[in-house]
């Protein structure tokens, strides 16, 4: 009886336990319900360091290569912290097409002054998605090792300073070499300058003496005289008188230094009548010269046709003017004869003159 009652209570306990604890047990045993999948990072970051083995103070280059889809933008953060390392410079390349996406390389040049195993600090890149949302991409640290300059020595010790090498002075041999070298350099500079001057010197050719104006005028008149008959037969009276006045004005300009070729007859008349000019016109009658030029202007501009005798007379008028005003060349024999007269001869001539006067 007691055993039957005990079995009933045990069964009731098991039933209560099954009703109350079974859902909890089932809940703990059941696999967790799948949650919403986390957003995957679209950027793949790799790092490379050159050189892998370096010494203190070496310039190291950490290359951070980021591969990401098109439409995204990846950049280094502004003012990023690189820990205890000394950053020399940093630079990002332009995006390059690679496969289905883009690739961008960032260079970070830095130095370290500690030895042993080390690693670059972790930092983050800035990622901007096509919608303009800004997130970050972690860059993992990169391990490397800096070797000591004394690691090959078992017991490195500081060496003492070398003794100073001194020479006795004065060192005549050294001084001789120095002075000889300096003198050679100066001599070479002088010779080079002299050679350049000699190559670039201006060779001044002696120009022949100018032909006197009267000789030029005589030659031009002779040429015009030889062509006169043919010109008159063709009726070229204006051309003939133009050439004749050109010869006359050229002679006046060359002989007396008065600008005449580019002046009209009236302008030339005013220039010749100036006192400072008239003093130089030895043997020239200004009014006669101007009247002759005015007669020539009638033929040149008024188409007046003179007689043949008048044309010949006009040429002879110019020739006579040149002959009358050409400079007189003194004979050298006469100058020598005058120089050879002795003082006694001169005294005798003066005494004779006094006796004649008495």
Domain contains 19: no
Q: Which of 125, 147, 169 is the last residue of a domain?
A: 147
Domain contains 97: yes
Residue 186 falls in which region: left (phi positive, over 0), alpha (psi -120 to 50) or beta: alpha
pLDDT in tens, 235-266: 888 999 999 999 999 989 998 888 988 999 99
Number of domains in the chain: 2
Q: Are residues 138 and 226 in the same domain?
A: no
Domain that holds residue 267: 213-325
**What are the C-alpha distances in Å from 152 to residues 118, 147, 228, 320?**
20, 10, 114, 116
Domain contains 300: yes
Domain contains 356: no
Domain contains 289: yes
DSSP 8-class letter at 114: -
Domain contains 203: no
Task: Give the residue among 54, 75, 221, 255 at the shortest CA–CA distance from 151.
Answer: 54
CB count within 10 Å of CB 299 equals 22
Buried (b) or exposed (e) across 31-41, using 16+ Cβ within 10 A?
A: eeeeeeeeeee
Q: Are residues 223 and 141 in the same domain?
A: no
Q: Are residues 52 and 133 in the same domain?
A: yes
CB count within 10 Å of CB 245 equals 21
pLDDT at 71: 85
The DSSP secondary structure of 175-204, one letter per residue, reads: HHHHHHHHHHHHHHHHHHHHHHHHHH----
pLDDT in tens, 3-41: 455 455 555 554 444 433 444 443 444 444 333 333 567
Q: Which of 101, 122, 147 is the last residue of a domain?
A: 147
Helix axes 286-301, 308-325, angle to 10 degrees: 150
Domain contains 185: no
pTM: 0.39
CATH of the domain at 111: 2.60.40.740
CB count within 10 Å of CB 147 equals 14
Domain contains 306: yes
| Residue matched to tokens 């060496």 | 159
**What are the C-alpha distances in Å from 193 to residues 115, 183, 196?**
60, 15, 5
The DSSP secondary structure of 138-163, one letter per residue, reads: EE---EEEEE-TTTTSSS--PPPPPP
Q: Name, in order, each residue with C-beta under 8 angstroms of 255's C-beta and a sequence gap of 6 or more.
A: 213, 214, 325, 326, 327
pLDDT tens string for the chain (358 positions)?
444 554 555 555 544 444 334 444 434 444 443 333 335 678 889 998 988 778 888 889 999 998 889 888 888 887 777 888 888 888 888 888 877 788 889 999 988 888 888 889 988 888 898 888 888 889 999 888 888 766 555 666 666 666 666 556 567 788 889 989 999 999 999 999 988 888 876 554 556 788 999 899 999 999 999 998 898 888 888 999 999 999 999 989 998 888 988 999 999 889 888 888 877 888 788 888 899 999 888 888 877 888 888 888 889 999 999 999 888 765 555 554 444 444 444 444 444 444 443 3
Q: Which of 107, 126, 147 is the last residue of a domain?
A: 147
Tokens of 304: 């007046």
């Amino acid at each position: 009886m007691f055993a039957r009652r005990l079995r009933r209570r045990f069964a009731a306990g098991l039933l209560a336990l099954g009703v109350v604890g079974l859902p909890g047990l089932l809940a703990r045993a059941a696999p967790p319900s799948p949650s919403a999948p986390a957003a995957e990072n679209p950027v793949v970051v790799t790092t490379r360091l050159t050189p892998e083995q370096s010494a203190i103070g070496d310039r190291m280059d950490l290359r951070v290569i980021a591969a990401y889809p098109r439409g995204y933008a990846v950049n280094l953060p502004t003012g990023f912290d690189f820990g205890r390392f000394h950053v020399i410079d940093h630079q990002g390349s332009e995006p390059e097409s690679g496969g289905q996406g883009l690739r961008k390389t960032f260079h970070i040049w830095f130095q370290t002054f500690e030895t042993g195993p080390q690693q670059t600090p972790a930092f983050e890149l800035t990622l901007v998605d096509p919608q303009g949302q800004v997130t970050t991409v972690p860059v993992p640290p990169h391990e490397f090792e800096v070797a000591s300059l004394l690691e090959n020595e078992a017991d490195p010790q500081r060496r003492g300073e070398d003794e100073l090498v001194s020479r006795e002075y004065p060192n005549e041999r050294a001084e001789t070499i120095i002075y000889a070298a300096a003198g050679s350099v100066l001599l070479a500079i002088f010779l080079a300058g002299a050679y350049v001057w000699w190559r670039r010197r201006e060779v001044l050719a002696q120009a022949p003496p100018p032909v006197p104006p009267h000789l030029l005028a005589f030659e031009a008149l002779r040429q015009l005289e030889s062509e006169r008959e043919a010109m008159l037969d063709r009726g070229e009276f204006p051309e003939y008188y133009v050439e004749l006045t050109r010869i006359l004005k050229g002679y006046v300009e060359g002989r007396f230094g008065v600008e005449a070729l580019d002046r009209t007859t009236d302008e030339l008349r005013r220039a010749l009548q100036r006192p400072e000019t008239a003093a130089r016109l030895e043997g020239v009658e200004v009014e006669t010269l101007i009247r002759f030029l005015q007669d020539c202007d009638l033929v040149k501009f008024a188409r007046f046709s003179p007689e043949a005798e008048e044309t010949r007379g006009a040429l002879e008028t110019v020739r006579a003017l040149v002959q009358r005003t050409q400079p007189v060349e003194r004979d050298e024999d006469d100058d020598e004869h005058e120089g050879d007269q002795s003082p006694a001869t001169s005294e005798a001539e003066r005494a004779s003159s006094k006796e004649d006067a008495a």
